[in-house]
Structure 1
Amino acid sequence: MTERPPRSGRKTRVLIVDDSASVRQTLSDIISSDPALEVMATAADPYAAAERIRQEVPDVIFLDIEMPKMDGLTFLRKIMAQRPIPVVICSSLTESGSDALLQALEGGAVDVVTKPRVGSIEFLQMSRMQICDVAKAAAQARPRGPRPKPIVVERKLTADAMLPPVRANPARAMPEIGTKIICIGASTGGTEALRDVLEALPANAPPIVIVQHMPEKFTAAFARRLDSLCAISVKEAEDGDDVLAGRALIAPGNLHMMLQRIGARFRVSIADGPAVCRHRPSVDVLFRSAAQAAGANAVGVIMTGMGDDGAQGLLEMKTAGAFTLAQDADSCVVFGMPKEAIERGAASKVVPLARIAGEIMTAAHASTLAKSR
């Protein structure tokens, strides 16, 4: 996939679809406040939105999930089947909406934002910045379309049908110094890209820590979804979690995650703090901590996303001796973060999405061989 060509200064046109008049007005005010964006139209339901799209195609659609007449997921599927347009899901900040959100991302939505709500001036300013940044990123994205349904193959049932196999004993899975710690950062388009990478990894993959720009309350559902699909275990990180082989830890939304070395083992620290590179969690924060705590024992991977978060941190990892990877332009939904890292000389290697899992295992295997000599 490649970025859309520049629009020669034309503003990004946004269509807002939400059954709440107050949400439509608030989103309109926020988006219109950015000189690079304009609200093309608003619609109270998908039928009104479809009629507006027939008159003029927007650059980006902000779409609610729960609406009368037709729900947002059904409308999203129709858009992706007929004429793919970058869609941003605008959702309430609830655990109950997490499954629908993940279905939307799997169905082709490029990103998600939480609905703006009345709060402090600082909160509203942060909300405005995030919504406008996501709109600009989505405008540069090429939707990858819905993920095809997996082929179901009949197989002989085993005990796994009732009881899952026992995973590695955490006490034996502690990474020794010299074991590679894989640090991954992603943003727009990253949820499905991360699924591609993690699904391709074997159960004995090296320890993985991940920052994916995503609102709070949704990262736990995202981690549970990946855990059900992957050979490795996946969980939303908690403060003090050990970094273990065969497990990926995902930074919780709205909190930073850092790698720490405690004697001969590693763990993560979860902390509040100011947004870094306009994000919390920030990829730069994770990558810098990895450079300091793990040095050459780390592997840095920067993937699809808008902006420059992670570029400086990846360079610091490389300078500290880490092997670093950047996703290539053709396989990115948005070639922003990897491009910035490549231009700064932070990437040891640039590879397509389909090769990232293999490169991770190659780096881990090289580390194992070096230790055995």
Structure 2
Amino acid sequence: MSPARVVVVDDSPTMRGLISATLRRDPDLQVVGAAGDPLEAREMIKELNPDVITLDIEMPNMNGLEFLERIMRLRPMPVVMVSTLTQAGADATLRALELGAVDCVAKPTSAQASEGLSELAAKVKVAARASVRPAGRIAQPKVRTGYAPADTVLAIGSSTGGVEALLTILANFPETCPPTVITQHMPATFTKSFAARLDRICGGRVEEATDGAPLEVGRVYLAPGGETHLEVVRAGGLRCRLRQGDLISGHRPSVDALFNSVAHAAGPNACGVILTGMGRDGAAGLKAMRDAGARTLGQDEASCVVYGMPRAAFETGAVERQASLADIGPTILTLCERRR
């Protein structure tokens, strides 16, 4: 298979050189161009037809978000954002992921430039194989009255492409949604902003999980990025636990850690959902949930940005049923509804 062709877009000549040099060290990638602003990048895309572009947000002539919106509307293609992880940078990068960017990496500072792009090549290679479509509008929250959840814990795991997927699913959730715990692979700087974004479109209340928080109807708990795993434990009722520990399935927080804890704490009174993402994190944990009697769903290949985690779960027998992204939200609510 021929190397994936990449165009690097950044206004800093130093950063363009650093990104290009990092990518050129991988034999599966070929840097075919480097542009200093979106206008130059537009001409390179037309001429060079790359498989992936890396894109900064703060640039002259047109900011990266505006350029990304035009790309996804006129010529959808895989984009990996390389941006600062300040609070403002996190908010902008989340908006880029909503617009259709496949993934993001932190722009290194000069103090740690040599190792700051360690994940870039892997993410660009995944992006080159990703399924990219024009970004759709996130549905407005639907007013749903009279929904009564059963005594069921909902656990969701996601990675690459998960921002759009979670926004789409939670936009369907009513004020009385089932108690929900979510692990999304995401840098620590992003999760508070992402929880706030989800809170604005979800009928229930969405927040970063805190250690000891009780799982309650109408509440959604997002795993903080960084140093802990989000788990569910029984301690006078079901509660969130933030546990420090090693990487599990290559991640912290890990979907496997969450799903395994739910299988142990809630058994058949649970529903597990695995969404778009690369790798295998969550497959073993979802199998444990299904073996414990929980209902399990996997996002189907056609609607995934990366059909890695759902594929691994499906192939291990962890997935009871596959569904499209458009159908998963309503299906979750049906599975978690109190039987009349």
For normalisation by structure 1, the TM-score amounts to 0.82
- Counterpart of 2:70 (choices 78, 96, 110) is 78
CA-to-partner distance for each residue in 1:18-66, whole Å, 9 max, x for gaps? 1123322332233223332222222221122112112111111111000
Q: Give the drift of 1:220.
A: 0.9
Partner of 2:120: 131
- Counterpart of 1:221 (choices 193, 196, 215) is 193
Partner of 1:360: 332
Where in structure 2 are the equivalents of 1:270-349 lying within 5 Å?
270-349=242-321
Q: Do structure 1's residue 35 and structure 2's residue 7 form an aligned pair?
A: no
Compared with structure 1, are the counterparts of its residues 295 and 93 closer, same or farther at alpha carbon in structure 2 (3 Å cutoff)? Answer: same
Q: Do structure 1's residue 179 and structure 2's residue 151 form an aligned pair?
A: yes
- Give the Cα–Cα distance (whole angstroms) in 2 for the partners of residues 320 and 33 of structure 1: 45
Question: Are the aligned partners of 2:139 and 2:168 in contact in 1 as well (CA < 8 Å)?
Answer: no
Where in structure 2 are the equivalents of 1:1-373 lying within 5 Å?
9-117=1-109, 124=115, 127-128=117-118, 130-148=119-137, 179-365=151-337, 368-369=338-339
- Give the Cα–Cα distance (whole angstroms) in 2 for the partners of residues 61 and 277 of structure 1: 28
Q: Give the drift of 1:120.
A: 7.1
What letter is aligned with 1:148? R
Unmatched runs of 5 consecutive residues or more in structure 1? 1-8, 152-172
- Give the Cα–Cα distance (whole angstroms) in 2 for the partners of residues 183 and 269 of structure 1: 14
Compared with structure 1, are the counterparts of its residues 82 and 355 closer, same or farther at alpha carbon in structure 2 (3 Å cutoff)? Answer: closer
Q: Give the drift of 1:323.
A: 1.3
- Give the Cα–Cα distance (whole angstroms) in 1 for the partners of residues 9 and 112 of structure 2: 25
- Give the Cα–Cα distance (whole angstroms) in 2 for the partners of residues 148 and 262 of structure 1: 39
Unmatched runs of 5 consecutive residues or more in structure 2? 141-147
Q: Give the drift of 1:91.
A: 1.1
CA-to-partner distance for each residue in 1:240-265, whole Å, 9 max, x for gaps? 22222111111112233332323341
Question: Are the aligned partners of 2:282 and 2:309 in contact in 1 as well (CA < 8 Å)?
Answer: yes
CA-to-partner distance for each residue in 1:287-308, whole Å, 9 max, x for gaps? 1222222222221100111221
Compared with structure 1, are the counterparts of its residues 330 and 150 closer, same or farther at alpha carbon in structure 2 (3 Å cutoff)? Answer: closer
Identity, % of aligned positions: 46
Q: Give the drift of 1:343.
A: 0.8
Aligned Cα RMSD in Å? 2.5
Question: Are the aligned partners of 1:258 and 1:290 in contact in 2 as well (CA < 8 Å)?
Answer: no
Question: Are the aligned partners of 1:182 and 1:299 in contact in 2 as well (CA < 8 Å)?
Answer: yes
CA-to-partner distance for each residue in 1:254-290, whole Å, 9 max, x for gaps? 2333323233412222244333333222211211222
CA-to-partner distance for each residue in 1:128-182, whole Å, 9 max, x for gaps? 1x3223212211222232333878xxxxxxxxxxxxxxxxxxxxx9x9xx82111
Compared with structure 1, are the counterparts of its residues 124 and 85 closer, same or farther at alpha carbon in structure 2 (3 Å cutoff)? Answer: same
Question: Are the aligned partners of 1:181 and 1:299 in contact in 2 as well (CA < 8 Å)?
Answer: yes
Question: Are the aligned partners of 1:259 and 1:293 in contact in 2 as well (CA < 8 Å)?
Answer: no
Q: Give the drift of 1:217.
A: 1.1
- Give the Cα–Cα distance (whole angstroms) in 1 for the partners of residues 120 and 253 of structure 2: 16
Question: Are the aligned partners of 1:180 and 1:363 in contact in 2 as well (CA < 8 Å)?
Answer: no
Partner of 2:143: none
For normalisation by structure 2, the TM-score amounts to 0.90
- Give the Cα–Cα distance (whole angstroms) in 2 for the partners of residues 316 and 149 of structure 1: 32
Question: Are the aligned partners of 1:257 and 1:271 in contact in 2 as well (CA < 8 Å)?
Answer: yes
What letter is aligned with 1:87? V
Partner of 1:154: none
- Give the Cα–Cα distance (whole angstroms) in 2 for the partners of residues 189 and 309 of structure 1: 14
Bigger mean CA offset, 261-270 vs 241-250? 261-270
CA-to-partner distance for each residue in 1:324-363, whole Å, 9 max, x for gaps? 1101111112211111111111101111112212222222
Compared with structure 1, are the counterparts of its residues 119 and 300 closer, same or farther at alpha carbon in structure 2 (3 Å cutoff)? Answer: farther
Bigger mean CA offset, 203-212 vs 11-20? 11-20
Question: Are the aligned partners of 2:277 and 2:306 in contact in 1 as well (CA < 8 Å)?
Answer: yes
What letter is aligned with 1:292? H
